[in-house]
Amino acid sequence: MTLLDVRTVRKTYPGAVALGGVDFAVEPGEVHALLGENGAGKSTLMKVIAGSVTPDAGQIDVDGRRLPLGSPQVAREHGVAIVYQELSLVPSLSVGENVLLGRWPLTRTRTVGWDRLHEEAAQHLARVGLDVRTRTSVRTLRIADRQLVEIAKALCDHVRLLMLDEPTSALSEREAERLFGIIHELRAEGVGVVYVSHMLAEVLRVADRITVLRDGRTVDTVRAGDVLEADLAQMMVGRRISAQPDQRVAAADGDLALRTRGLACRPRLQPVDLELRKGEVVGVFGFVGAGRTRLARTLFGLEPDAAGTVEVSGKRVRITSPADAVAAGLGYLGDDRALGIVPAMSVAENITLASMGRLSRGPVLDVRKQRELASRYIDELAIRASSPDQPAGTLSGGNQQKVVLARWLCSGVRVLVLDDPMRGIDVGAKEEIMRLVRQLAADGIAILYLTSELKEAKALAHRVLVMAGGRIVRAATADASDDQIMAAAGGVHG
Ligand SMILES: Nc1ncnc2c1ncn2[C@@H]1O[C@H](COP(=O)(O)OP(=O)(O)OP(=O)(O)O)[C@@H](O)[C@H]1O
Ligand SMILES: [Mg+2]
């Protein structure tokens, strides 16, 4: 019997048809990937199945039983588990408390059974192969580990269907492998897995079948063995995407845009000396945990214990806060997109947040100019919003990412620090962002491009620095082989 049977589900938001009558089915023991551009409706469909979004119409059967719509509790009782795209843990609580959130075991005297709680939580963590103490506060965990805690939390129930919304976007390759291992075990137990990812190669490996959504409608459902990456990209976007990155920008020989001396945040970031020229794209490649993000955050004034000196365009600047960094001409796109977006503010306000000076005369904001500027970037980055006034928090995840990028693009930055900017971005938009990064460099902006994807770094950067263990371990020219770079990133010095 079909495990999950979704029929003609509709969901309309003011100005957006998120789902326009979608059919979707998952068999027991099947891994079913859901693909689509940013804003195609993937997250909405999963939320409808999980009961956290009530559809306007449609019906859902789980194991042949009709599921009352719009109730997360009832969905859970039917064995439906979900890991949301936006992490949902409570940072101030411990790992164990989070894993069993809402289901803390009680003792006979009706107080919380702490020992039992931590014992049970530890078992769930073991299931996802996460080795942290359950009494640790979630606040102290890296994003990758938080993601695994989320999965452990979802797995708690008697699971029939597990839905994962971009679970690997913050994971290293090894951590992702562990997740695939868990998925395979669940599949062998007859659990159905719904899987959203923008990494097509990964999808082809993990999924049995693939359903592609476009503009809230099903394009097709195919067997993974019957298609190639390029086919999927075409189905998603509706046109052919070139796999070949276009020509890189010409060699940068402009003036020095950024220079750091002994930039450090011990013990996680050892002293770094960087030099970026105007128009230069410098890639920083390293695996998760190599210190890339620490470097970006330190440069942007987000780490209180920073040491070292920074010069922008030859002038010494003191950066002890993000405000200092912005004033000095720096822009930053972090690996935690929740940090960047102000959910309650409109898309236009979010885009122009760092450009207010330019848009105001004295204390008066020129709203018309603000909208014009925002609209330009909404078009250029193909941000899918019903209007510039839509609250940014209601955009799809990938589109939120684009909004933060747009903010820095229009603020007139001199140095742009991009930490994994392609995370959660669909193939069409990736092409778009690559083009934009090249364009920005051609316009004279210096770009520090931090990534865990070597392909990306090589396609975009003039030179690639390799990070491992909190330090720059190698400077690679464009012709260094992938093996050499990988070896350096893995800590093999050669
Ligand atoms: N609460 C909301 N209010 C208004 N519009 C919404 C809301 N939630 C989603 N939408 C809109 O519905 C559409 C589908 O969004 P959804 O989050 O399902 O996309 P997605 O396929 O998950 O994209 P991504 O790959 O970027 O995560 C988008 O146009 C989005 O702006
Ligand atoms: Mg989504």
User: What is residue 28's three-state secondary structure?
Assistant: coil
- According to the model, what pLDDT value does residue 480 have? 75
- According to the model, what pLDDT value does residue 493 have? 46
Q: What is the mean pLDDT of residues 12-34?
A: 94
Expressed in angstroms and rounded, the spacing between residue 188 Cα and the centre of ligand 1 is 32
Alpha helices in 328-396 (DSSP H): 337-340, 347-351, 356-359, 367-380
> Which residue has better confidence, 407 or 336?
407
* Residue 336's pLDDT band (cuts 50, 70, 90): low
pLDDT digits (tens, 9 = 90+) for 72-83: 999 999 999 999
Nearest atom (ligand 1) to Cα of 85: 27
pLDDT digits (tens, 9 = 90+) for 150-203: 988 988 668 899 999 988 877 777 778 888 988 998 899 999 999 999 888 889
Q: What are the structure tokens assigned to 39, written together?
A: 């804003």
Ligand at minimal distance from the CA of 48 is: 1
pLDDT digits (tens, 9 = 90+) for 205-219: 999 999 999 989 999
Q: CB of 94 closer than 6 A to ligand 1?
A: no
Average confidence score pLDDT of the chain: 88
- According to the model, what pLDDT value does residue 421 have? 85
Domains of the chain from N-terminus onward: 4-237 (3.40.50.300), 256-489 (3.40.50.300)
Q: What is the mean pLDDT of residues 389-412?
A: 86
Element (H, E) at 95: helix 95-99
Q: CB of 9 closer than 6 A to ligand 1?
A: no
Nearest atom (ligand 1) to Cα of 44: 18
Q: What is the mean pLDDT of residues 412-441?
A: 84
Element (H, E) at 448: strand 446-451
Most confident of 51-65, 315-329, 399-413: 51-65
CB 468 within 8 A of CB 279: no
Alpha helices in 3-85 (DSSP H): 42-50, 72-77
Q: CB of 401 closer than 6 A to ligand 1?
A: no
Nearest atom (ligand 1) to Cα of 40: 21
Nearest atom (ligand 1) to Cα of 14: 4
pLDDT digits (tens, 9 = 90+) for 243-265: 444 444 455 567 899 999 999 99
Expressed in angstroms and rounded, the spacing between residue 13 Cα and the centre of ligand 1 is 9
> Which residue has better confidence, 353 or 482?
353
Ligand at minimal distance from the CA of 337 is: 1
Beta bridge partners of 16: 13
- According to the model, what pLDDT value does residue 433 have? 79
The amino acid that residue 249 corresponds to is V
Strands (E), 166-320: 192-196, 209-214, 217-223, 256-265, 269-277, 281-285, 307-312, 315-317
Q: How many of the other CB atoms lie within 10 Å of CB of 381? A: 20
Ligand at minimal distance from the CA of 396 is: 1
pLDDT digits (tens, 9 = 90+) for 43-95: 999 999 999 999 999 999 999 999 999 999 999 999 999 998 877 888 889 99
Q: What is the DSSP letter of 137?
A: B
Expressed in angstroms and rounded, the spacing between residue 40 Cα and the centre of ligand 2 is 8
- According to the model, what pLDDT value does residue 370 have? 92
